[in-house]
Amino acid sequence: METIVAPSVRPRRRIAMLAVLGALSSFGPLSMDMYLPSTPTIAANLHASQALVQLTLSGCLAGLAIGQLVAGPVSDGLGRKKPLLAGLVAFTALSVACAAAPDIGALIVFRFLQGMAGAGGVVLSLAIVRDLYTGAELARVLGSLMLVFGLAPVLAPVVGGQILRFTSWRGVFGVLAAVGLVLLLLAWFLPETLPPERRTPSRLHQLAADSRSLLHDRRYVGYTLAIACGNAALITYISALPFIVEDAYHESPQLFSVFFMINSIGLVAMAQLGVRLVKRVPAARVVLLSQVVMAAGAVGFLAAALTGHPPLAVLLVPLFFFISFFGSMRPNATAIALASQGAIAGTASAWVGALPFLVGAGLSPLAGLGGEGAATVAGIILAALCVAALPFLLLAAGTGGSGEARRREPGNRPARPAVVRRRPRRGNR
């Protein structure tokens, strides 16, 4: 394991710190999923069409994407902690603003800004982990974070549905404000993991220079594009499932939450299995095999949808395989992509996180189209994205990467520590 942290970070604090980082990494699904059960209520209360309400989701996704492209490079110059705390303060305030939104237009704007603020938690949790670990240990830690990331989609819709039993949709955003405040208090105690001597200029135009540098790393580009396809497919699933279960099949929101929970349990289970696999199998092989199963599940879902109106279980079984194997693909692909990007980990993490949300923001409104044919539209998008990811992975695997990247790839021999702590000299023997 490579440790490049400030001396104040002690092993006893690592578990608590990783739990906080896992919660920060879940800002995306938390911000999107908790209010999903309330979208019909929002449409009725604000006298808006379902298409306009769907734009609140697209606005949040776009904000999450753009915010990461700002927070990542800024953190490479200012350190991780200050931008993180600023983002949490803004997220809390904007959640209150969403709760008080007078009309759908204001809610769309506030959701966009809320996504930008929450993006700091998403990208900086990745950058902090990359500051702390590399190699196989990086893959294992990211797999552990996927446990929290996977629990967020399980709990968020259920919590959102229960909140609606006692209050309106505005109460959901009140709870998000409370979550932001709690994470702000916890993040206050996180250490700074990027010391001043390792920082780069924080001007935003540095993003262009660092991005050009990243484009020359075909290994990084290949895995980042594959992650973008996989994550965008996950966002499409999140956007489409309520329409499929509740509109096309006329099932209850409670049953929708059950399906969501089952799929998320599969995601968490495969994430933990992936953590163990990389101890014996190269992470690149785990990623490729996981993506093949994801593509098979997405194509199976599309084939079932094209039959007309199959039993709901016939649709959900291939969907379960797609979601579950995303849990083993994403953390390992992220570990490989970031393995040789320590000097610009903030910018590298920003693109890894931003691209899926940029693609998802454009595709999520399409997922709600089709009415009774919502499953077919979603299936086309899922299959196209999952199949498209395969050549990106093959391209990345074919390059082999730089020598440094090969040494640091999870599953290969561990990298030498970045910081060598010399033992104090003793007296003459």
Whole-number pLDDT of residue 197? 80
What crossing angle do the helices spanning 104-132 and 81-99 adopt, rounded to 10°?
A: 160
pLDDT at 82 over 50: yes
Q: What are the b/e assignments for 186-204, b being 16+ CB within 10 Å? A: bbeebbbbbeeeeebebee
Residues of the domain holding 347 = 11-194+203-408
Q: Which of 32-36, 64-68, 155-159, 390-394 is most confident?
A: 390-394
Q: Is pLDDT above 60 for 3?
A: no
Mean pLDDT score of the chain: 80
Is 1 a member of any domain?
A: no
The confidence band for 429, taking pLDDT boundaries of 50, 70 and 90, is very low
User: Is 261 within a domain?
Assistant: yes
Confidence (pLDDT) at 62: 85
Q: What are phi and psi of 233, to 5 degrees?
A: -65, -40
Q: How many helices (H) and strands (E) does the chain have?
A: 16, 0
- Greater model confidence, 241 or 389: 389
Separation of alpha carbons 89 and 184, rounded Å = 7
Which has the minimum average pLDDT: 56-70, 285-299, 336-350, 382-396? 336-350
Average pLDDT on 219-226 reads 92
| Residue whose entry in the numeric block shows the structure tokens 């395969």 | 390
Q: Does residue 388 sit within a domain?
A: yes
Residue 2 lies in a domain: no
Is residue 406 pLDDT above 90, yes or no?
A: no
Q: Is 160 helix (H, G, I), strand (E, B) or coil?
A: helix
Q: Is residue 85 part of a domain?
A: yes
Segment 50-66 shows an average pLDDT of 83
- Measured CA to CA, the distance from residue 212 to residue 344 in angstroms comes to 12
User: HSE (CB half, 13 Å, CA atoms) of 370?
Assistant: 26
Which of these ranges, 152-161, 167-176, 313-322, has the smallest mean pLDDT?
152-161
Which one has a higher pLDDT value, 246 or 95? 95
- Give the chain's domain count: 1
In a domain, 421, yes or no: no
Instruction: Flag whether pLDDT at 68 surpasses 70.
Output: yes
Query: Higher pLDDT residue, 146 or 133?
Result: 133
pLDDT band at 417 (very low <50, low <70, confident <90, very high): very low
Mean pLDDT along residues 196-213: 73
CATH assignment at residue 95 = 1.20.1250.20
Q: Could you report the per-residue pLDDT of 350-394, keeping only the tens digit for each?
A: 788 788 878 877 776 676 565 556 788 889 999 999 999 999 998
| Distance, CA of 272 to CA of 268 (rounded, Å) | 6
| pTM assigned to the model | 0.72
Comparing 150 with 163, the larger pLDDT belongs to: 163
Distance CA 130, CA 2 (A): 10
**Mean pLDDT along residues 147-171:** 75
Cβ-Cβ contacts under 8 Å for 349 (sequence gap 6 or more): 68, 72, 123, 124, 126, 127, 130, 338
Mean pLDDT, residues 264-271 taken together: 85
**Can you give the pLDDT at residue 90?**
95
Q: Looking at the domain assignment, is residue 77 inside a domain?
A: yes
